[in-house]
Amino acid sequence: MDNGTVQVTLSKPAGLVTGIRYDGIDNLLEVRNRETNRGYWDLHWNPPGGKGIFDVISGTSFRVIVENDEQVELSFTRMWDSLLEGKYIPLNIDKRFVLLRGSSGFYSYAIYKHLQEWPGFDIGETRITFKLRKDMFQYMAIADNRQRLMPLPDDLLPGRCQTLAYPEAVILVNPELPELTGEVDDKYQYSCENKDNQVHGWICFKPLVGFWQITPSDEFRTAGPLKQNLTSHVGPTTLAMFHSSHYAGKDLVLSISPGEPWKKVFGPVFIYLNSASNGEDAPFLWEDAKMQMMAEVQSWPYSFPVSEDFQKSEERGNVCGRLLVKDRNISDDYILASGAYVGLAPPGDVGSWQTECKDYQFWTRADENGYFSIKSICTGDYNLYAWVPGFLGDYRFDAIVNIISGCDMDMGDLVYEPPRDGPTLWEIGIPDRSAAEFYIPDPDPKFMNNLYANHPDRFRQYGLWDRYADMYPDTDLVYTVGLSDYRKDWFFAQVVRYISFISGFA
């Protein structure tokens, strides 16, 4: 696919991205890797009760869906039948790649479909992976305050690093860049909540070129806005995460049963490429990528995907309303649910959106007066869920919310009554689902990632679980209500302490 700005080369019929040409650079992807290990959709799955299988999704059939002056859309499909049982996940998978006229990048999305008569399966993870040239892309950016020069993949090889408590975490002992010596590298330190995970990527300094993964909507991601997912990490690797059980385990495994039909569209996401001219610098590329992200968000839902499974704007509906809090122990009047998180997710129990993996979710934040508006919702049945920073518990509007094409539903005033048995006697911290207000210790000096020194996200430092035992070697902490200060006296995570056993006695 070539529009004069970007040229994308894909294998046929597999649909693997083998090359991306941009700004005079023949290939931004790692040419030292095999063509099957550069740009690809993948998933980690297992038959019910079976062992996990990692699958780079390779198509077996190729079609040109659209080819005109404005757009190219390609389809790479892999169809399932019973002869493939145990070898491939029982899904029909249709991977799409789209290039638009004048666009400095390309889009990708996929349709996963399971027929009712097929066997069941579990999915632990599915995503798009890009592996860039290590000789070019060494500076990573995932937020305004989370950017740094990164180790090379060679630095993770034996002799250059020391593995820590789990394979992904290492201490750099002999890195290519001496200034990184002694630092910890761990891809999980660069995770991000879904709600903030909209743009991340890499910068090459010579020439000044950026490679960015932009996710314009969270609707196809699983487990709601607070779910943590991977972003970019040493490789240089960039991920578009759609579903993962990271940080949660089996509760967030996507399980489809035998006899259960299922279909979902993941994406589109946008791979954006930019460059800087004379007089501009690397920060310009990051700022430009953020502006492009905002433009993509404003364009959602996209009008160009050809698949009928991706609902366009006119096929969707909208919901608005106001959320109020009723808590007589605080006020006789209704309290405005300022900043509340309000979302539509599949029907379920109160709070079930946190483990919902199969379908779509649509979230927004209420304004200072509790008013909310959720736009471009796919048709179907939902519950409306919410929680309010500063108040315990979860809200669910019990009636089913049925979204039909073109609807504009005003739900009026909704009232949330937080759970309580009487006046608050005491509390530790702030009920906002962040734990940011509690005491977060400095890491052991041997286990520093310098990015997080004196950083709001310093909780991501390696090994903080051991700091609790350092601080409380013999007994657990004691918090005295009315005297203790949770900002200094309440450890941010509840962890175990090691106990030495000698001759059978603790």
pLDDT band at 506 (very low <50, low <70, confident <90, very high): very low
Mean pLDDT of the chain: 96
- Are residues 45 and 143 in contact, defined by beta-carbon separation less than 8 angstroms? no
Encoded tokens for 273: 């490429």
CA quadruple 31, 35, 37, 38: dihedral sign: positive
Residues 271 and 125 in one domain: yes
Residue 54 lies inside a defined structural domain of this protein: yes
Residue 108 lies inside a defined structural domain of this protein: yes
- CATH number of the domain residue 88 falls in: 2.70.98.10
Encoded tokens for 24: 């005079």
pLDDT exceeding 70 applies to what percent of the chain? 98
Residues 196 and 150 in one domain: yes
CA nearest neighbour of 271 among 186, 202, 168, 189: 202
Residue 424 lies inside a defined structural domain of this protein: no
At 2 the three-state DSSP class reads strand
Residues 321 and 445 in one domain: no
pTM exceeds cut of 0.85: yes
Domain residue limits at 398: 313-416
Residue 425 lies inside a defined structural domain of this protein: no
- Per-residue model confidence as pLDDT tens digits over 431-472: 999 999 999 999 999 999 999 999 999 999 999 999 999 999
- Are residues 156 and 163 in contact, defined by beta-carbon separation less than 8 angstroms? no
Total number of domains in the chain = 3
- Per-residue model confidence as pLDDT tens digits over 109-146: 999 999 999 999 999 999 999 999 999 999 999 999 99
**What average pLDDT does range 231-237 have in this prediction?**
99
Convert 91-128 into a string of H (helix), E (strand) and C (coil): CEEEEEEEEECCCCEEEEEEEEEECCCCCCEEEEEEEE
Mention every residue, 6+ apart, whose C-beta is less than 8 A from residue 393. 387, 416, 418, 419
pLDDT band at 499 (very low <50, low <70, confident <90, very high): low
Whether residue 503 has pLDDT greater than 90: no
Residues 206 and 125 in one domain: yes
Residue 488 backbone phi and psi in degrees, to 5: -120, -25
Residues 204 and 89 in one domain: yes
Cα–Cα distance for residue pair 379/31, rounded to 1 Å: 43
The domain boundary residue, chosen from 361, 389, 416 = 416
pLDDT band at 500 (very low <50, low <70, confident <90, very high): low
- E-strand spans in 206-348? 209-214, 228-229, 232-233, 237-244, 254-256, 262-275, 317-325, 335-336, 341-345
Q: Within 191-270, where are the H helices?
A: none
Residues 14 and 65 in one domain: yes
Residues 285 and 328 in one domain: no
Cα–Cα distance for residue pair 380/346, rounded to 1 Å: 9
- Are residues 292 and 272 in contact, defined by beta-carbon separation less than 8 angstroms? yes
CA nearest neighbour of 30 among 19, 22, 40: 19
**What average pLDDT does range 288-293 have in this prediction?**
99
285-324 as b/e: b if 16+ CB within 10 A:
bbebbbebbeebeeeebbeebebeebbeeeebbbbbbbbb
At 458 the three-state DSSP class reads helix
Residue 352 lies inside a defined structural domain of this protein: yes
| pLDDT score for 497 | 76
Residue 303 lies inside a defined structural domain of this protein: no
| pLDDT score for 494 | 86
Burial class of 204 by CB neighbour count within 10 A (0 to 12, 13 to 18, 19+):
buried
CA nearest neighbour of 289 among 267, 268, 274: 274
Residues 194 and 337 in one domain: no
CA nearest neighbour of 362 among 324, 308, 311: 311
pLDDT exceeding 90 applies to what percent of the chain? 95
Whether residue 380 has pLDDT greater than 90: yes
484-489's contacts with Cβ under 8 Å and 24+ in sequence apart are: 486/428, 486/429, 486/437, 486/438, 486/439, 487/437, 487/438, 487/439, 488/439, 489/439
Residues 374 and 284 in one domain: no
Residues 233 and 289 in one domain: yes
At 301 the three-state DSSP class reads coil
At 265 the three-state DSSP class reads strand
11-14's contacts with Cβ under 8 Å and 24+ in sequence apart are: 11/35, 12/62, 12/76, 13/59, 13/60, 13/61, 13/62, 13/76, 14/58, 14/59, 14/76
| pLDDT score for 501 | 53
Residues 404 and 459 in one domain: no
The domain boundary residue, chosen from 246, 265, 298 = 298
Residue 160 lies inside a defined structural domain of this protein: yes
Strand partners, 264: 112
Question: Residue 372, by phi and psi: left (phi above 0), alpha (psi -120 to 50) or beta?
Answer: beta
348-352's contacts with Cβ under 8 Å and 24+ in sequence apart are: 348/383, 349/396, 350/385, 350/394, 350/395, 350/396, 351/385, 351/394, 351/396, 352/385
CA nearest neighbour of 75 among 60, 90, 86, 55: 60
Residue 225 lies inside a defined structural domain of this protein: yes
| pLDDT score for 348 | 98
Cα–Cα distance for residue pair 431/437, rounded to 1 Å: 10
Cα–Cα distance for residue pair 37/56, rounded to 1 Å: 9
- CATH number of the domain residue 355 falls in: 2.60.40.1120
The domain boundary residue, chosen from 298, 324, 352 = 298
Whether residue 505 has pLDDT greater than 50: no
Cα–Cα distance for residue pair 229/428, rounded to 1 Å: 28
Residues 218 and 340 in one domain: no
- Per-residue model confidence as pLDDT tens digits over 170-227: 999 999 999 999 999 999 999 999 999 999 999 999 999 999 999 999 999 999 999 9
CA nearest neighbour of 260 among 114, 84, 380, 45: 114
